[in-house]
Amino acid sequence: MGKVIGIDLGTTNSCVSVLEGGKPIVISSSEGGRTTPSIVGFGKSGEHLVGQLAKRQAVTNAENSVYSIKRFIGRRWDETATERSRVPYTC
């Protein structure tokens, strides 16, 4: 059987696990956490940031930090106008 990976894509945090020996094992982040903030950031010099790094820089770079994007997935563009007006980034 091939590898099994489970992804919990949360609005606030996400978690990834693998199945080893019939048991799920949560993959820890590089900082040791079992969950990772569901944030992607684009730094001022073009670098891509994810998780905790993206969350930290979002305070001073909100317009280039994408978060809570899950609320837009699977919805019609015209249904999200109110929600899109509440985030600093451009959807």
pLDDT digits (tens, 9 = 90+) for 44-81: 888 999 999 999 999 999 999 999 988 888 999 999 99
In a domain, 87, yes or no: no
In a domain, 91, yes or no: no
Predicted TM-score of the model (pTM):
0.79
Q: What is the 3-state secondary structure (H, E, C) of the chain?
A: CCCCEEEEECCCEEEEEEEECCEEEECCCCCCCCCEECEEEECCCCCEEEHHHHHHHCCCCHHHEEECHHHHCCCCHHHHHHHHCCCCCCC
How many domains is the chain built from? 1
In a domain, 90, yes or no: no
Q: What's the confidence (pLDDT) of residue 1?
A: 63
